[in-house]
Amino acid sequence: MHSYNDLLKIINSELNKLNFDKEPQNLYQPINYVIKNGGKRIRPVLTLMSCELFGGDYKNAVSSALAIEIFHNFTLLHDDMMDNADVRRGNPTVHIKWNDNIALLSGDAMSIIAYKLISESPVNLTDILNTFSNTALNICEGQQYDMDFEDNPDVSEEEYIKMITLKTAVLLACSLRIGALSANAKQEDCENIYEFGKNLGTAFQLQDDFLDVYGDTNKFGKNIGGDIILNKKTFLLIKALKEAKGQDYQNLIHWINAKDFNNQEKINAVITIFNNLNIKEYTLQNMEKYYNKAYEIFDKIPIENERKKVVIDFAESLRRRDC
């Protein structure tokens, strides 16, 4: 079995082999730009890793791994349009660098290119296609719930977990399952690795919410408190809105409705409310709950621990990140 870094090298090398140097340039250059713009490549690496975990040849999973990475980047491209985001990974987003129409259409093309690659899967094509399509549709559903939440003052914790499961977690789950399918793994193993990924992905997103507020300022890519400034309905804000009483509640509503404010002042004020309500501990507890559930499910997969180590090491590296 290859190490995480070996698999990452394989993915980057295979991505580089894809040729988007084609006409019309206004369609293909943005695709090239997005793919070359980096990213951690977690999902395609997990696909290859899962394939090897179940004894498969990683080469059988390469085309679907690339499909998943391209699909992921397509969702980011269109999400950035919907969120009016100007920057992605330190560079201008496609609709800023080009324009809305070009971003829309090159995104559409990326989704098709992802399907072209998925269709090249040499093992278990039908199951892989179904997993991929169901996941792709889940991601659209999750994104729509996320947008719906913006206008909904009363989002429950359960609704939030459902949304991040659809928007974020199932793609990690799908990456692992497609790797397992490419190795001809048993159905039960495919289910377990999927559920492992889903819980891991949910934990990962809760941690993202957590780190936006309590991350290490020196290391975290974005500045601390970005979600607070934007009133983003994170797990922390949803819990705080539910638990806050009296002065804390009034303060929270004041800062949510404030139009002109000093960013740092708002961040400090909201963090103070979060601290009063023990939101930090509550979020960590929930995050740990999903990590632990992921590990429990992973334990059920009947493979010797030595083979499993590369997956556990990866999950632990996520769990231990502070940025």
Closer Cβ to its own copies, 93 or 286, answer by number: 93
- Least distance in angstroms from the C-beta of 181 to its own copies: 14
- Least distance in angstroms from the C-beta of 109 to its own copies: 4
- Least distance in angstroms from the C-beta of 151 to its own copies: 10
- Least distance in angstroms from the C-beta of 129 to its own copies: 4
Where do contacts with its own copies occur on this chain (CB under 8 A)? 23-24, 26-27, 78, 81-82, 101-102, 104-109, 111-113, 115-116, 119, 125-126, 129-130, 133-134, 136-137, 140-141, 143-145, 147-148
Cβ 240 vs Cβ 212: under 8 Å: no
Closer Cβ to its own copies, 10 or 171, answer by number: 171
Closer Cβ to its own copies, 130 or 292, answer by number: 130
Give CA–CA dist 33/76, Å, rounded: 13
Give CA–CA dist 31/8, Å, rounded: 20
- Least distance in angstroms from the C-beta of 194 to its own copies: 18
- Least distance in angstroms from the C-beta of 31 to its own copies: 10
Query: Residue ranges of the alpha helices (H) in the chain?
Result: 4-17, 25-36, 42-53, 62-82, 94-97, 100-118, 125-150, 157-164, 170-182, 187-214, 226-229, 235-243, 246-257, 263-276, 279-299, 305-319
Closer Cβ to its own copies, 26 or 292, answer by number: 26
How do strand 91-92 and strand 87-88 relate by DSSP bridges? antiparallel
SS3 of 75-129: the string is HHHHHHHHCCCCEECCEECHHHHCCHHHHHHHHHHHHHHHHHHHCCCCCCHHHHH
The DSSP symbol for 165 reads I
Closer Cβ to its own copies, 28 or 220, answer by number: 28
Closer Cβ to its own copies, 138 or 207, answer by number: 138
